[in-house]
Each structure stands twice: as C-alpha cells, then as structure tokens.
Amino acid sequence: MAVQVFGLVFFAMLAIGMPIYLVLGAVAFLMYALNGDPLVGVVQKMLDGLNSETLLAVPFFVMAASFMQKGGVAKAMIDLVSLWVGSVRGGLAIVAILACALFSAICGSSVATAMAMGAILVPAMAQRDYPMPFSLGVLAASGTLGILIPPSLAMILFALIAEESVPRLFLAGVVPGLLQAGIFLVYALYYAYRHKLPREPHRSREDAWQVTLHALPALLLPVIVGVGIYGGLVTVTEASVLAAVVALLISLLYYKGIGWREAPVEIGDSVRSAAVITVIIATALAFAHWLTASGVPVAIVRFIVEINLQPWQFLLIINILLVILGMFLEVVAIMLITLPILVPLLGPMGIDPVHFAVVMTINMELALLTAPVGLNLFVLSSVSKTPLSVVTKGVFPLEVLLFLLLMLVTFVPSLSLWLPNLVFSK
C-alpha cells in the first residue's frame, strides 16, 4: 500500500511542477509517517547523508567555474586554442569544441561551460558569418563535456548516492569524453568544408608567443586538479579547494577580470548555488533510504530474474527510459529519482557501477540538449538572443551523434573501464 501511495503522491507533485527537493522530502516524510516511524528519522538520514567530505567538493568546483567564467580564464583558453587551430577552415567551430573540452577539465558543470564559451564565441562566430544554428548547436553540444570530462559534478553526485570512488568515476569519463570531442570535431570539419566556412588569419610568431604566455596560468588549473587527484597528492575535496583558490588568485592578480570588490559577491553566489544542490541531495538521500527499506529494488530484481532479462537488454531499456525522462526533467532530478532504484540492480545484473556512471552521464548530456527543458539550449538561446528553435535545429545532428556514442559506450564497457582499471590496478 505504501508503495502505491508513494507513486501517486510522487507523480502528482511532479506533474504540478513542485521543486524536486520538495517532492523528495515530502514523499520521504509521508512514507515514514505511513510506516509509523518517527519523523525525526527523515531529518537524521538527511544529516547523515550530508556528513560527507566528498560533498564539500561541490561548492568549491562551482566557485572555480564562476571565477574562470568571469575572471578572464575562459578567454585566455579560447585565445590559446584559436592560436593552435584557428587557421583551419571553420576554425572557430574547432576552437569552440576544444576550448569547451579544456574548460571542462576544471569546471565540472555543463551549463557553466556553455555559458562561458558562448558569451565569447557566439559574437565572434556571428561576426565571421557562421550560420547561427550551427554555431549555437556546436556550443550547446560541446558544453555538455563539462559533466563528462573530469572533474564532473554529475560524477560526484553519482559517487555520493552509489558510494563509489570519485577518482575512478572521474577517470572513467576521460576516454568517452575525448571520443565525444573527436566525433564533434569530425562533424564540424565536414560542415565547415561543405559550407566553405572562413579560416582565421595566421598569427605572427611574436603574437603567438604572447598569447601562449598569457594562457599559461589558465593551463595550471587542470594540471593542478589532475596531478593532485590522480597522483594521490590530494583528495577530490582538497583539489576542489585548490582549484577555487588558484582560479580566484589568477583572476584577481593576473587576468584582472574580477575586482577585489566583486570577489565576495562571486563567492556568495557560488555558495548559494551549492546550498541549493546540497538541500536537493539531502532530501534525495532520505528518499533513497526509504526506497531501499521499502523493498522496491528487491522486487524489481526478482521481476528481472523471472523474465530472464539479459544485462544488455536491461541497459537498453534503461537508456530508453532515461532519454524519455530527459525530455521532461532536469538532470539533477533524473539522477536523484532514478539512481536509488537503479544502483541496487547493478550488482545482480553483473554491471560495473563505474561503467554505468558513464552511461548515466552521457544520458544526462542528452537531457541537457533535449527540448523543452534542456538547460544548454536555454543558455545559448539567452546568450545569442535567438529563439529556442534556432538552437534546437542546430544541435539536432550533434544530438544524434551523441546518442550513437551512448550506444557505443553502453555496449563496449572497456571504453569506460580501461583507464580506471589501468591506473588503480597498480
């Protein structure tokens, strides 16, 4: 009976547009009350879930992304990549993809990546007469690399719910992330040559040297995070603090994109953003505890065993389900609703949780590009001041390519597992 009540209340609240943290929290309180358990247990589970060092990484990565976006770091990265590949036909599209990949190596957020790159590259591409749908589509799709290439806030969220190793999850996203960037590059080059997009002028040697020197502090950020975490020098949380501090210092002292008076405002905005995420996670963990105790995952496992569902069939069904959910719900909501149900099923199905984390993340990338709730679409529409339909038109070919990548990663687990197994088997 409790499960039926849960389903009714849960979907009714979602249907009327209630915020996800209220939905999860209300359902958790209601289910505890129906079971006759003390309601203080919900609060206790929320506090227990927040007692995690890994969770502290979220506000600091959010802060680092904010400083990079507004402090001049993003522009320095774009200038450097433009120096390398700008002279190729359609060079600005290539710059957009590579700069998004580079920015993702410190940012952790898809929306922040799309916003930072879009604010600079949309006007530049428009000035060079790039078709607007193509420009916006490339930037929206490349922005999704922010949650696949480590460090990734989506991976941290998965690690919290599934109790997995964050460094292993980060490494699992590297090869698929590079594959995604490579596929997008091939598409951009094909489009550029077919439509005869312009090349960027060659830079003088002196100019190239100045651009490279100017970008060196920006390149320190991904090096600090990568070497620190995978070299075992710092934890993920400590790396996030280092990233935020270094991003602030070079934004203030070197690029001077942020003034001393603006820094506290940026810190406050980042803390508020992280606080919202923290509240959502707290209610989700209380919801997950009730869901596990209710026996829902066990019942699903029994059903799967009875119908003799194979792992590849299970993954295919889950992918279809996640793609459909991505049309109606935001990324955080999808992960917090589905992971408490799906994670307990992975062991009985013989699916590696690290591999599934990458499958889930690529599905979330698709959700960020799917109308009517795809956040990256809204970001690029806002930055370019163009209708949402223009962005949707431009992103569709890249969304198809991303779906094909999802199928490849789903059915070739070694693409996700090779690097973490290589590094952590030593």
Q: pLDDT for 151-164, tens place per residue?
A: 888 999 899 888 88
First to last CA, the chain: 50
Out of 207-216, 298-307, 377-386, give the one with best mean pLDDT. Answer: 377-386
Nearest Cα to Cα of residue 107 among 215, 225, 213: 225
Measured CA to CA, the distance from residue 370 to residue 128 in angstroms comes to 28
Nearest Cα to Cα of residue 100 among 195, 190, 180: 180
pLDDT over 60 (residue 426): no
* pLDDT number for residue 5: 64
201 vs 364, higher pLDDT: 364
Weakest-pLDDT range from 121-125, 181-185, 207-211? 207-211
Element (H, E) at 352: none
Residues 332-368: b if buried by 16+ CB within 10 A, e if exposed = bbbbbbbbbebbbbbebbebbbbbbbbbbbbbbbbbb
pLDDT over 60 (residue 2): no
Q: How far from 270 is each of 36, 38, 92, 330, 386, CA to CA, in Å?
A: 39, 35, 30, 20, 28
Residue-averaged pLDDT of the chain? 84
pLDDT over 80 (residue 96): yes
* pLDDT number for residue 41: 66
pLDDT over 90 (residue 179): yes
182 vs 341, higher pLDDT: 182
Overall average pLDDT of the 22-33 stretch:
75
* pLDDT number for residue 305: 66
What does the block give as tokens for 82? Answer: 């433009």
- What does pTM read for this prediction? 0.86
